[in-house]
Amino acid sequence: MHLTAPAGTGRTDTRPRTRDADGMAVASFILGLLGLLVLNLLLGPIAVVLAVAALWRGTARRGRAFLGLTLGIADLVVLIVSMEVTGTVSWSL
């Protein structure tokens, strides 16, 4: 839902869109962090997509979005390295 200001003011209220972007930034950070421990094949790409979407929408939590992006990429790097070392698609501690 996008709220608009009264007619004639020429402004729109962007709070709902920013709030959604802030939520995406936090979700990206959490999923990227969890992806380092479990399900990095699934959670890594989701964290990357959410971080990019949050940054594109203009989140106020840019730091969390960048951390989510970095952690999502790290998830994929850990997966690739572990695949090369073990020769499988999964890894364990």
Distance of CA 64 to the CA centre of its chain: 8
Q: Is residue 93 part of a domain?
A: no
Q: Are 52 and 87 in contact (CB under 8 A)?
A: no
Percent share of the chain, pLDDT over 90: 39
Is pLDDT larger for residue 88 or for residue 89? 88
Compute the distance between CA of residue 48 and CA of residue 80 in angstroms, rounded to an integer. Answer: 16
Residue 28 lies in a domain: yes
Number of neighbouring beta carbons within 10 Å of residue 38: 9
How sure is the predictor about 59, in pLDDT bands with cuts at 50, 70 and 90? confident
33 found inside a domain: yes
pLDDT tens for 7-20 read 555 555 555 666 78
d(CA 32, CA 75) in angstroms, rounded, equals 7
Q: Is 20 contained in some domain? A: yes
**What is the tally of structural domains in the chain?**
1
Please indicate, yes or no, if residue 65 is contained in any of the structural domains. Answer: yes
Structural domain including 52 reads: 15-86
Q: Is residue 26 part of a domain?
A: yes
